Amino acid sequence: MSDSVGSSVGPMTDAAADRSSGLPIAAVPRSGWHAATVVAARRETPNAARLELEVDGWPGNAAGQHLDVRLTAPDGYTATRSYSIASSGRGTRVTLAVDKLPDGEVSPFLVDEVREGDMLEVHGPLGAFFVWRPAAEHTPSDGVRPVQLIAGGSGVVPLYAIATAHAEADDPAPFRLLYSVRTPDDIYFADELAALAAASAPFEVDFIYTRRAPDGWPTGPGRIMRDALEAAVVPAAERPLVYVCGSTGFVERIADWLVEFGHDPRSIRTERYGGS
């Protein structure tokens, strides 16, 4: 046995570290390839579509997971892309909200071309890292911790799934969502987010508009700044679990600032979708 192997004997993450992150290893359904039928396709925003899929054999999914969609051209060429799932729980219905990338191979098809009755190949559910589950489904070792969700653009999709799971479970953890979005017209799940804010599970939404703010908005449009971020998120002293999803640049800027504010890096979960 070499030294490097010998030195790795024993747990690499100790139990205390796991307790400090408060994030249990999630039991998630096994992934596989499935045939999905589009049962509804409609505009979500001027640049995005919401797709409801009926997925044959889907084992259900945890809030925050994603799936891969594979398209196959008549000549056999395939393209596979990952999309976050906007829904969670048991059952075979899956909701996606897909942003159209200008040079994309898959998203323009999903946003502009897909119609009710079309079939897609999907692989999932995928990933147990960017997942939240209500306290009722596990025993938190250190009590109820608040949750801060931070979305950039279409990065709101898995966070919407998490917020919905929180409301459906009537989970007592205080939740806040900070949602950076280009304009009011680009908000995904606008009605649903308003309904979640009115539900009994504690949930607040804050918007940052980067291109155009609504009339009368107190601040002009622009990227979120460090001070505004610090003011809008659950303070580090309250030890929140933080989920950040958006473009790579957005996620890394936000995560670096959160660490500067004193948030435990292990309590910050990130998902980057690339892009600008």
Partner 1 sequence: MTHLDGNSLAGPLAEFFAFDVTMAVARCEGCGTTAELARAMVYPSGAGTVVRCSTCDRVLMTVVESEDRAWIRFTGVGAIEVRRVPEVVERPASPRASR
Nearer to partner 1, 19 or 43 (CB): 19
Cα(131)–Cα(28) distance, integer angstroms: 9
| Phi, psi torsion values for 224, nearest 5 degrees | -65, 135
Contacting partner 1 within 15-44 (CB under 8 A): 25-31
Nearer to partner 1, 152 or 174 (CB): 152
Nearer to partner 1, 65 or 148 (CB): 65
From 2-10, 111-119, 200-208, 218-226, span contacting partner 1 (CB under 8 A): 2-10
Nearer to partner 1, 212 or 272 (CB): 272
Task: Classify burial at 274, counting beta carbons within 10 Å of its beta carbon; exposed 0-12, middle 13-18, buried 19 or more.
Answer: exposed
Strand partners, 242: 148, 268
Cβ 84 to partner 1 shortest distance, Å: 10
Strand partners, 241: 147
Nearer to partner 1, 13 or 200 (CB): 13
Question: Which x/- pattern over 237-276 shows residues binding partner 1 (rule: CB under 8 A)?
Answer: ----------xxx-------------------xxxxxxxx
Q: Tell me which residue of 224, 266, 273, 261 sits closest to 241, measured CA to CA.
A: 266
Contacting partner 1 within 39-98 (CB under 8 A): 59-60, 66-68, 80, 82, 90
Task: Classify burial at 219, counting beta carbons within 10 Å of its beta carbon; exposed 0-12, middle 13-18, buried 19 or more.
Answer: exposed
Cα(131)–Cα(168) distance, integer angstroms: 16
Where along the sequence are the contacts to partner 1 (CB under 8 A)? 4-5, 7-8, 11-13, 25-31, 59-60, 66-68, 80, 82, 90, 123-124, 126-130, 247-249, 269-276
